Structures are given as C-alpha cells and as structure tokens.
Structure 1
Amino acid sequence: MTVSPDPRSLDQRLDALARQPFRARFRLRGPERVTAEEKGAATIRWHAYDLVAKRLAPAEPYKDGKQTPYRGHPVFVAQHATATCCRSCLLRWHGIPKGRQLSRAEHLYVVEVICRWIERELTRGAGETSGGD
C-alpha cells in the first residue's frame, strides 16, 4: 500500500479498519478521552511521534506484538483501533514492511493515522458520556 497522508484516503482506511470486529471495539473514553481533550491535538501528536519512535519505528521493536498497552494513553487506544500497534499489523493493514526501521515518511504517516483517529473520536463523541469500559 502507498503511504499517503491524504485526509480522504486516511478516512477511507480508518472506515475499513472500523469494520473489523477487533478494531471496532476500541473507543476513546474515560481517562484516555480526558487526556486527549485536556492536552490538545498538538501535544497528543508529539506524544504519538515519540511513542512511535520508541515502540514501533525500530527494525525489531522490543516485544514486537506486545509492546502497545491497551489503555493508559489515547495514543495506545488509537494504535489498536488503527492497526498501528505492532509491525505485523503495520504490514498487514498499511503495507509497511517489517525488519527495517520506519522511514521518516512512514513514521509521519503512522502518527497521522493515529491523530486522525483520535480527532474523529473526539468529534464523534462530543455529546456522549465518557464513561469507562
């Protein structure tokens, strides 16, 4: 697949991922939603960039496949919802090969996917309660 930050193609990819039962169960709520709302988009984007750099970008990430917690930060929830949680998911859903460090363009693409999902979640849930699981 082509690495593309085009908003329409990102939305199409996110819509396709949301049709997958495992991915569809992830929602931004509770403390993760509060964190995203309070920190703001710019800070969350920086966190996403940093977390991807440390946990996903290396050619062989530590504990690949188990390195992304399910809760604790809005970026973690977004990674599972967007299949950017491990190198196997990046390969399967985004066409980004394993076994080599992410290029700068790939790194930025992953951050954009994560941030776009969070943005959509915050917009979608504007009138909903933010209760826990």
Structure 2
Amino acid sequence: MKTQELDLFPIDNQKECPSSEVKSKLDFDNIFDRLSHSKFRSSFYLNNKDKDYIAKRDWNTIRKNTADIISKRLAPADIPNDGRQTPMRHGIFPPFIAQHATGCCCRGCFEKWHNIPKGRQLSEDEQQYAVDVIMEWLKRHV
C-alpha cells in the first residue's frame, strides 16, 4: 500500500499562511510526527560523515551556514532550478539532508509541508522558521 504524504496543516487551515507568531509556537514534536508519516521524508538520516562534520563545528556556525543556504536557495521568489537545488548526498553539508527530511528543500515542498506559498520572497521570519526546523531535526538526529 502506498504511503500518502500528509500536509502539516489540515485542509481547513490552507487558506492563508500562518503568521510567524503562530509558527513560533508550533510544537516540533507535531511537525516531526506529521513528517514521519511520509515514507520519503522519514527515510533520511545522518551517516557517520555527517555526524563527524557536525562534531567538528559548533551549533552557531552550523546555524549561520544553514541560514545562508536558506537565504540563497529557498528564500528567493523565483528559483530557476526549484525542486533540484538541494543535494541529497551525505557528506557534503548535513543541513541539506535535514532540508529533505523536513520538507524545507524547495519551495514546492515548503509550501506543501509548511503552508508557506511559493512565488514570493520569504520573509526573515519565514527564513528563520525554516532554519529552526532544520536545526531541530539535526539536533534530534546527531
């Protein structure tokens, strides 16, 4: 039987993007529980190379680098290679793996899983939200 991917927000809430105030109160357990119902999203993990990468750096550096990646690869309104801009290979940059695991890898997935519409520049709050979700996933998987 094919596993169906679930959206993070029920259909009733799909009319508009939740405010950053609402997002800041989101329960990470709820987010990750919903993502765990997707066979694809739940297939991602950190291998030893990824864990070594993280061990050799402090969390602030990883967060800063993740924020930079989000601002360049996810935040623009128009991304020419949207859906293909985030590498899926281990050992490059562990937040790339976390982006796929959390649905923060492209604007299509970000819209589906986090109800933040594509076609417009992400706000600073929305970018920080993506970074927060990615960082939380990394911390839970180290």
Normalising by the residue count of structure 2, what TM-score does the alignment of the two structures yield? 0.80
- Could you say which residue in structure 2 is the equivalent of 1:61? 79
- Match status 1:116 vs 2:136: yes
State the Cα distance separating 1:61 from its structure 2 match.
Answer: 1.7
Whether the 8 Å contact between 1:82 and 1:113 is mirrored in structure 2 is yes
Identical residues among aligned pairs (%): 42
CA distance in 2 between partners of 1:40 and 1:113 (Å): 17
Across the aligned residues of Structure 1 and Structure 2, the Cα RMSD in angstroms comes to: 1.3
Alignment-mate amino acid for residue 85 of structure 1: C
Shift of 1:88: 0.3
Q: Which residue of 1 aligns with 2:115?
A: 95
Q: Which has the larger radius of gyration?
A: 2
Q: 2:32 aligns with which of 7, 10, 14?
A: 14
More relative contact order in 1 or in 2 (CA 8 Å, sep 6+)?
Answer: 1
Corresponding position of 2:57: 39
Shift of the alpha carbon at 1:38?
1.6
4+ aligned runs moved over 6 Å, structure 1: none
**What are the Cα deviations for residues 71-123 of structure 1, in whole angstroms up to 9, with x where unaligned?**
2111100000000000000110000000000001100000000000001111x
**TM-score, normalisation: structure 1:** 0.85
What do residues 5-28 of structure 1 show as CA deviations (whole Å, max 9, x unaligned)? 33x612210121022100111001
**How far is 1:30 from its partner?**
2.4
How many residue pairs match? The answer is 121
Q: Which residue identity lines up with residue 16 of structure 1 in the other structure? A: R
